[in-house]
Structure 1
Amino acid sequence: MTATADATATALAARSGGSRQLAGTGTLLRFALRRDRVLIPVWVGVNALMVLSMPGTIKGLYGTAAERADLMRQMETNASLRALVGPVFDDGLGALTAWRVGLYAGALAAVTSLLIVVRHTRDEEESGRQEVVASGMVGRRAPLTAALLAAAVANAVLALLIAVGLAGQGAAGALALGLGVGGVGMLFATMAAILAQLTESARLARGLTAAVLGGAFVLRAAGDSATDDGSSVLTWVSPLGWLENVRAFADERWWVLLLLVGAAAVQGVVAYTLAGRRDLGMSFLPTRPGPGDGRLRTAGALAWRLQRGSVLGWSIGFFAAGVVYGGMTEGAADLVGDNEQAREIIERMGGQAGLTDAFVSAMVGMLGLIAALYVVASVLRLSGEETSGRAEPVLAGAVGRLRWAAGHLVIAFGGAALIMLLAGLGFA
């Protein structure tokens, strides 16, 4: 009886300790959803609209079954375009929709998820707000749980919109695509949760998670360029490769979804374990301290020191994108073939030059739109320096506000020119 009583008491204590670890999760979740009442609907709405509008677009470009079958045959022999959008598994409108935008919907869901998780974990600690929250009736793992639940809400809504919106093309395929996109989002949400524990900076956590996403895209592209059925080892190493191998609207492979669920669950366990073993505001990979004596003489030098890592990352990414898109120029004409509507759309995007030149112009224009994200992030670094309190000691010295701001703006505008130049070199 004594042994049984001791075991019961131990179990109750463990259960009580677990509940204390999650105390306040509901309140923090409601607060997170309130803070993201604009971010989540906008990102989810744009992603869902991109997917749901694609069947009509494909039908307008390839209106007959013969044209769609011909497109599928062309993709089987076009390695460069498979690297961009993946292989085609069926010539139905639903399957072509999953082929054309499935990977990008998954990538966008991953970006949304990592932003949500890092914002409500490491961002809160870095700003000092989490310390105030933790002083109340809030468990150690409650902020992480609330952040992951907020990401789960966003991904669940996106999956539901895709499943309902594409149900007319086939209920099973629509459900598989929706669950696949949502699963990729949650996998990168838990990945961001791990990196938020490892790093001391929210910016670094976001950057590393985005780098993992970029690496997943590169691995998938390399695998798909080698095979036309998604069977490459490199494709299966990438979570985006798992998404395409769900094969929505083409004899769905439901078991592939278990890979996404299992990976997200394992990463979630790792994130929770790490969260329970570190102090608030600390990290397992602390930032390396700078030199003992100051070596930065100007505000511009300080801005470059703060943003050089971001400039380097964007530069590598844009050069690689230029190389990939440049390798696809010869395949553009083969893909369009005799389809006058597709030819007209590409020429409208890139001018009335030859089809290859028009394709290159269109791709450069798309990279220009992406480069705008770099400019926005770089300029917002000014706001980040202010809110973190680091700008105040700088401005307290012999540094004027205009000089301080100009240092960051030069990096923003000069960096945009640099990454576009490197993209052009990649094309060349």
Structure 2
Amino acid sequence: MSTTIAPDRPARTGEAVPRATAGAVLGALMRQRLRRDRWQILIWLLCIALLAMFSASAIDQTYGDANARAQLIRLAIADPTIIVLRGLPQGTSLAAVAFFEIYTFLALLAGLMNTFLAVRHSRAEEESGRAELVGSTPAGRLLPTTATVLHAVAVNAALAVVTALGFIAAGLPAYGSFVAGAATAGAGFAFFAVGLLLAQLMNTSRGANGFAAAVVVLAYLVRGIGDAMGTPFGDGTHQRSAWPTWLSPIGWGEQFAPYTGDDWRPLLLQLGLAVLLIAAVFGLQAVRDSGAGLIPERAGRATARPALGGVFGLAWRLQWPTVLGWTIGGALGGLLAGALGTVINSSIADNPALSGIRDAIGRIGGGGSGPLTQLFISAIFSIIGVLAAACAVQTVIRLRQEEASGTAELVMSAPVTRTRWLFSYVAVGVIAVLAVLLAGAIASGLSAVAAGEGASTFGDSFAAAAAQVPVALVYLGVLTLVFVLVPSWTAPVGWAALGLGAFVGIFGGLVKLPEGVRHLSPFADAPVVVGDVDWTGGYWMLGITVVALAGAAALIRRRDFAIG
């Protein structure tokens, strides 16, 4: 293998590098990042652009009439749960409604894309030992971080453009579309800085990714609470955010008010936060040891527990904190489903003008007819199903991380077959899916009974949870097959398929996407457990899962480990 000869004395940490050499090194590092991320970033950008375009087109087809859009916005303002899930109402024009429907979801995806990018080029590089090798060259320790920041700037500039083009392709005004693109990219870059800072604090890429993703989701929820607490004004089709919205970069993005206000000032908040956090990153990196996080590791046991003597015990030990986090999320979603179902039911009963919201909730829950509380529980469990599927996706990604880092080969040095190693992680994924949904079902039943519903709500909650099991398992099975066939695509395909599938399958019915498009998502074919029960889609997904896992088991023995 050819190597590049470094100067006689490599630059020390913080030491100035000759300008020509620094420029050449920075350019090489930028090219390396662009080449390494080209397919992952392309998938992310394409999915976000298509979501923007399809959402705006669906709004045009479904709510082309101004009166219909006004009714939709008034229903959203009357029911805070819709605002928590969607966004901030800012008028009834086609463009304003499209932004209300899709922006927060686009910003959530942009945040996840950026935090993963930040950790991949910082903490993951130190964890693998590559950062120390690069640091021994004229790059030192600061130029790679500089390259990563510039790489993120380029990626988010592209994100702003493709998001705007997606809206423009759907027929929305060009200037407002570029404002919307800037709002999305600004939130993404702010979360990139969050991920980069957490990479300095945590000792592992797994921990940094987990905390960064939690921050993104928390920002989404805080924004939703602030929007729901807001005050309607004007003719009742606009809402002003409450103070919690201003704690979230996603909430700042809403204040751009594309198509109605076109206010660029919130971009200063997003970029200002990013600059402050990136400056802190450079300061921390100059004083800490390479490979060490600022949060110290907990001292381990002198001897391992008996459970770690097997490959399944090891897989569970590596992932139980992640499973616990997703399970807590499922329980919180269950509490929301049980507690708010009764409130929404009584609100609509007292105000017949809000009866149209029943259809909206039914579309989110996959169809069916029945008591509104049951429909609402089914709708919320569609979202809890996303959490269960995300936990399954993260289990397979952990499988890929173990292989890429070389630790899987160490496991293979013991009397362990590749199939056994593979299915130990699959088993953890199945347990994780069941844990998330079971926690949601128990929490939903208990909160509904506490709110005054009958004991039958427990059965409704468990039925709604059971309907999401095949959906989460099909993500687990198919992504396991992707891992075996194309290992380097595991993470981008997993997250992109989950994000796109969640929007198309859950909210596609609300914006009336074409049925052919909706049924590309497993969430659209989840078993219907409200009214006429239909498990046909569940049986098909279980069959696909079994076939995918059988294919993975057969093929894992035929390929080499893909390290790096």
TM tier, smaller: 0.7 to 0.9
Residue 217 of structure 1 aligns to which amino acid in structure 2?
A: Y
Closer, same or farther: CA 47–321 of 1 in aligned 2, 3 Å: farther
Closer, same or farther: CA 232–337 of 1 in aligned 2, 3 Å: closer
- Deviation sequence 1:170-189 (CA, Å, 0-9, x none): 33321221111000100011
1:175 aligns with 2:178: yes
Which of 251, 267, 270 aligns to 1:241? It is 251
Q: Decide which moves more: 233-242 or 357-366.
A: 357-366
State the distance in 1 between where 2:384 and 2:254 align.
24
Q: Decide which moves more: 301-310 or 396-405.
A: 396-405
State the distance in 2 between where 1:106 and 1:149 align.
20
Q: Decide which moves more: 175-184 or 160-169.
A: 160-169
Matching residue of 1:353 = 369
Give the total of aligned pairs. 414
State the distance in 2 between where 1:62 and 1:336 align.
18
Matching residue of 2:86 = 85
Contact kept? 1:350, 1:359, Cα under 8 Å: no
Matching residue of 1:383 = 400
Residue 95 of structure 1 aligns to which amino acid in structure 2?
A: A
Matching residue of 2:227 = 224
Matching residue of 1:191 = 194
Closer, same or farther: CA 404–282 of 1 in aligned 2, 3 Å: same
1:283 aligns with 2:293: yes
Identity of aligned residues (%): 33
1:261 aligns with 2:271: yes
Residue 177 of structure 1 aligns to which amino acid in structure 2?
A: A
State the distance in 1 between where 2:353 and 2:427 align.
41
1:44 aligns with 2:60: no
Unpaired runs of 5+ residues, structure 2, are: 1-13, 232-238, 446-564
Q: CA deviation at 1:325?
A: 4.8
Contact kept? 1:304, 1:411, Cα under 8 Å: yes
Contact kept? 2:362, 2:368, Cα under 8 Å: no
Matching residue of 2:505 = none
- Deviation sequence 1:46-67 (CA, Å, 0-9, x none): 1111112222211222221111
Q: Decide which moves more: 37-46 or 273-282.
A: 273-282
State the distance in 2 between where 1:149 and 1:396 align.
41
- Deviation sequence 1:208-258 (CA, Å, 0-9, x none): 111111221221222222224343111111222111122222223321221
- Deviation sequence 1:60-79 (CA, Å, 0-9, x none): 22221111112222222221
Q: CA deviation at 1:154?
A: 2.1
Contact kept? 2:118, 2:196, Cα under 8 Å: yes
Residue 216 of structure 1 aligns to which amino acid in structure 2?
A: A
Q: Decide which moves more: 354-363 or 367-376.
A: 354-363
Contact kept? 2:361, 2:375, Cα under 8 Å: no
1:110 aligns with 2:122: no
For the residue of structure 1 that corresponds to 2:38, the secondary structure is coil
State the distance in 2 between where 1:84 and 1:235 align.
13
1:205 aligns with 2:208: yes
Which of 408, 418, 423 aligns to 2:435? It is 418
Q: CA deviation at 1:83?
A: 1.6
Matching residue of 1:319 = 331
Matching residue of 2:390 = 373
Q: Decide which moves more: 377-386 or 256-265.
A: 377-386
Closer, same or farther: CA 16–407 of 1 in aligned 2, 3 Å: closer
- Deviation sequence 1:248-299 (CA, Å, 0-9, x none): 2222332122111111111111111112222221221232231122223432
Contact kept? 1:115, 1:206, Cα under 8 Å: yes
Q: CA deviation at 1:360?
A: 4.2
Structure with the greater relative contact order (CA < 8 A, sep ≥ 6): 1 or 2?
1
Which of 316, 322, 333 aligns to 1:310? It is 322
Which of 381, 390, 402 aligns to 1:364? It is 381
State the distance in 2 between where 1:396 and 1:154 align.
40
Matching residue of 1:28 = 29
> 1:136-151, aligned counterparts within 5 Å?
136-151=137-152
State the distance in 2 between where 1:166 and 1:197 align.
36
Closer, same or farther: CA 178–331 of 1 in aligned 2, 3 Å: farther
Matching residue of 1:8 = none
Q: Decide which moves more: 18-27 or 287-296.
A: 18-27
Which of 276, 283, 301 aligns to 1:273? It is 283
For the residue of structure 1 that corresponds to 2:306, the secondary structure is coil
Residue 350 of structure 1 aligns to which amino acid in structure 2?
A: G
- Deviation sequence 1:70-103 (CA, Å, 0-9, x none): 2222222221211221220110111111111101
Unpaired runs of 5+ residues, structure 1, are: 1-13
Closer, same or farther: CA 109–283 of 1 in aligned 2, 3 Å: same
Contact kept? 2:33, 2:148, Cα under 8 Å: yes
State the distance in 2 between where 1:131 and 1:15 align.
16
Q: Decide which moves more: 142-151 or 173-182.
A: 142-151
Q: CA deviation at 1:366?
A: 4.6
State the distance in 1 between where 2:330 and 2:22 align.
43
State the distance in 1 between where 2:364 and 2:83 align.
23
Residue 60 of structure 2 aligns to which amino acid in structure 1?
A: K
For the residue of structure 2 that corresponds to 1:94, the secondary structure is helix
Q: Decide which moves more: 246-255 or 43-52.
A: 246-255
Closer, same or farther: CA 336–120 of 1 in aligned 2, 3 Å: farther
Q: CA deviation at 1:358?
A: 4.8
